[in-house]
């Protein structure tokens, strides 16, 4: 009786609502209408359960408010979709109500994902929910730029630069750039893909002949995280001197070596004192890029614009309507591991030019590559991270915070449960993880001190055994910052809800 009364009220409202005329809706508007209708369906399902537990009058008022919101948001098509879904749900519930109740005992479905094949009624509800999730991906404006192509173009470009650098720097005493490693969101496949994607690469530097790099950890505690200085030392090349008469040992014949070579040693060019200087290295790399560009095959069809930066080398290449923003970071590898010290800036307002923060970007990139090999073709784990990052625009949380949370979840929730059907659930898991971390004022770094990483990710012993870095250390020290973070958490939740509901 209650269901019939509700349907009567719905039909009456539908008839009284003025129908708009026109040639129809465009594809984007139609998808937006259908998605909102499907999201309303989720709320309707909840209200149907409430209908069994509360008075008819209270529930009908809620339905009326929900319907009125739909009427205000979209055109007549929304009502058609809503009505169809309501009728489908009503008949589904009516059919289930006629089935035997097993002597009053109801079988509880603990995990719809694991038991959907054994429960026809759950499968029917999942079909409606599946349709909603399909509309979700059609509605949300996932950017169209092809990240894979951008990464490939960037990789080929930097490899060509490195090849030319090898000829320019032969017989010199400057650091030797090695093959670049793609890092960051674009190479991990989840970039928010706004108007300009930044393709970040890490170029490892090795010392020139007659020199060695030694990493010294900063123990002053003035900068957050683990930071190092790269001490440059002359090393003995007397053995090589015996084989090549043109080589003299910097360690044993420094004055004679400098007289014979027009170019001074690395200690006199890119160092401040005995330590490799980030700013000087960046300026040197800019000059290399400018000098090498004319020798690259891309120079015939692409246009190069160098951009200002103090601790990296940024440039933009463009061809017609296609353009790429590239940022080159410099690093020194820690042993044979996937951990480097790099030229990236720290969280501090001022980072000394001889300070090289430890970076875990290569290890994180390899983790996403590991997940991609295990994930089914329709996995949505990257879309989940992409949507979270997109919602952060204008909010105080960094994308690295949300990336850390998703990596923790990927390391604990089987990758088979990150498909399209579990998309909203995984979004909820990420928000719950963020909320719990804010309440505890602690979010552990994903790589540092993590002993559960895949074996293919190589960590130095001190990194593996280190105490996990608390990314929310500032919140534990500043009550005002913690209060602000809690407000921004609620704002983030509201924004994600709006994105899901309205696609923006």
Tell me, what's the pLDDT at 24?
46
In this prediction, residues 350-377 reach a mean pLDDT of 95
Q: Is the pLDDT of residue 107 over 50?
A: no
Residues 6 or more apart from 46 whose CB is under 8 A from it?
none
230: CB partners within 8 A, 6+ apart = 213, 214, 215, 216, 275, 276, 332, 341, 354, 356
pLDDT for residue 388 is more than 60: yes
Share of the chain above pLDDT 90, in %: 47
**pLDDT over 60 (residue 311):** yes
- Alpha-carbon distance of 139 to 133, in angstroms, equals 10
Does residue 501 register a pLDDT over 50? yes
pLDDT of residue 3: 47
* Coil, helix or strand at residue 253: coil
User: What is residue 91's three-state secondary structure?
Assistant: helix
Nearest partner of 463 among 451, 449, 452, 453, judged by Cα = 449
- For the chain, the average pLDDT equals 77
CA distances from 1 to 4, 65, 69, 99 (A): 5, 21, 25, 18
Q: Are 89 and 48 in contact (CB under 8 A)?
A: yes
Say which residue the tokens 């090999």 belong to: 373
φ, ψ for residue 220 (rounded to 5)?
A: -75, -25
254 pLDDT tier (thresholds 50, 70, 90)? low
- Range of 76-85, 344-353, 383-392, 403-412 with top mean pLDDT: 403-412
Which pLDDT tens digit goes with each residue over 119-170?
444 444 454 455 445 445 554 555 545 788 899 999 999 999 999 998 888 8
Question: With bands split at pLDDT 50, 70 and 90, how would you rate the model's confidence at 172?
Answer: confident
Tokens of 197: 């994607």
Of 94-103, 371-380, 400-409, the one with minimum mean pLDDT is 94-103
Task: Tell me the domains of the chain and their CATH numbers.
Answer: 2-100+112-139 (no CATH), 147-359 (3.30.460.90), 363-502 (1.10.1410.40)
CA dihedral 457, 461, 462, 465 (to 10 degrees): 80
Measured distance CA(260)–CA(113) in Å, rounded: 74
Structure tokens at 421: 């059907």
């Amino acid at each position: 009786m209650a269901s019939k009364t509700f349907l009567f009220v719905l039909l009456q409202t539908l008839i009284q609502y003025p129908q708009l005329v026109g040639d129809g809706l465009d594809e984007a508007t139609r998808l937006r209408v259908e998605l909102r209708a499907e999201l309303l369906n989720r709320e309707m399902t909840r209200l149907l359960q409430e209908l069994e537990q509360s008075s008819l009058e209270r529930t009908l008022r809620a339905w009326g408010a929900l319907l009125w919101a739909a009427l205000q948001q979209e055109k007549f098509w929304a009502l058609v979709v809503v009505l169809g879904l309501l009728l489908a749900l009503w008949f589904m519930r009516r059919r289930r109500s006629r089935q035997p109740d097993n002597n009053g005992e109801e079988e509880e479905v603990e995990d719809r994902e694991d038991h959907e094949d054994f429960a026809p009624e759950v499968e029917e509800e999942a079909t409606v929910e599946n349709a909603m999730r399909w509309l979700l991906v059609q509605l949300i404006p996932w950017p169209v730029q092809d990240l894979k192509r951008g990464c490939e173009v960037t990789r080929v470009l930097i490899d060509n630069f490195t090849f030319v650098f090898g000829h320019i720097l032969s017989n010199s005493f400057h650091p030797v750039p090695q093959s670049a490693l793609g890092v960051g969101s674009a190479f991990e496949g989840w970039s928010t893909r706004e108007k300009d994607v930044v393709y970040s690469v890490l170029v490892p530097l090795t010392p020139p002949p007659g020199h060695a790099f030694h990493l010294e950890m900063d123990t002053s505690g003035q900068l957050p995280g683990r930071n190092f200085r790269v001490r440059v030392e002359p090393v003995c090349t007397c053995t090589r001197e015996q084989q090549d008469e043109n080589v003299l040992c910097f360690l044993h014949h420094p004055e004679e070596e400098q007289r014979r070579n027009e170019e001074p040693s690395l200690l006199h060019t890119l160092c401040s004192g005995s330590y490799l200087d980030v700013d000087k290295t960046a300026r040197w790399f800019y000059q290399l890029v400018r000098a090498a560009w004319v020798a690259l095959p891309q120079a015939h069809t692409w246009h190069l614009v160098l951009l200002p930066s103090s601790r990296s080398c940024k440039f933009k290449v463009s061809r017609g309507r296609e353009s790429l923003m590239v940022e080159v970071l410099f690093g020194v590898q820690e042993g044979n591991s996937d951990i480097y010290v790099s030229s990236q800036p720290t969280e501090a307002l001022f980072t000394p030019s001889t300070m090289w923060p430890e970076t875990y970007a290569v290890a994180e990139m390899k983790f996403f590559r590991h997940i991609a090999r295990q994930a089914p073709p329709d996995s949505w784990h990257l879309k989940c991270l992409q949507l979270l990052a997109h919602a952060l625009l204008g909010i105080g949380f960094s994308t690295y915070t949300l990336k850390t949370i998703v990596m923790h979840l990927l390391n604990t929730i089987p990758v088979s449960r990150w498909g399209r059907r579990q998309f909203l659930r995984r979004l909820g898991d990420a928000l719950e993880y963020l909320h719990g971390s804010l309440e505890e004022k602690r979010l552990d770094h994903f790589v540092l001190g993590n002993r559960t990483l895949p074996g293919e990710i190589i960590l130095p012993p001190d990194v593996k055994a280190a105490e996990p870095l608390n990314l929310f250390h500032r919140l534990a020290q500043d009550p005002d910052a913690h209060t602000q973070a809690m407000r921004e958490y609620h704002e983030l939740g509201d924004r994600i809800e709006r994105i899901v509901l309205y696609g923006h």
